[in-house]
Amino acid sequence: MAYAPEAKASPSPTPAAFNATHPKTIEGQVFAIDFRTGAMTVQTASGKIDVTVLPSTTIQECKPHFTSSAGCRPGFYAISDISKGASVYVTLSQNGAENRAQVISILK
């Protein structure tokens, strides 16, 4: 009878590797955007931040200095609605060194 080693569960990611429970927000202007790869660079007051826009990212249009979703227009928006120079407010989660956009509010 052959001995089968016990299966071990793979280690779960550490909080530093994936931090979706503590999202951060940034506000600034779109410095660069690549629609093909979903890469966006936002110029904030403290510097440029690279952001990955995923298919699951919610994109909305809001009034500047909105304080709730009441200042946002309902509808479907896509990455193609974001242009270079647009003012944006982005909620991010991190996967390692990658900043992933959860919500992008285009400020109009």
Q: 20 falls in which pLDDT band (50, 70, 90)?
A: low
Residue 8 lies in a domain: no
Domain around 94 = 19-107
Can you give the pTM of this predicted structure? 0.76
Mean pLDDT of 18-43: 89
**What is the total count of domains within the chain?**
1
Q: Does 9 map to a domain?
A: no
Helix and strand numbers, DSSP H then E, in the chain: 0, 6
Please give the full DSSP string across 5-55, using - where no structure is assigned.
PPP-PPPPPPTTTEEEEEEEEEEEEEEEEETTTTEEEEEETTEEEEEEEEE
For the chain, what is the largest distance between any 2 Cα atoms, rounded to a whole number of angstroms? 71
Residue 6 in any domain: the answer is no
Residue 10 falls within a domain, yes or no?
A: no
Residue 3 lies in a domain: no
Give the residue among 97, 107, 82, 81 at the shortest CA–CA distance from 26.
107
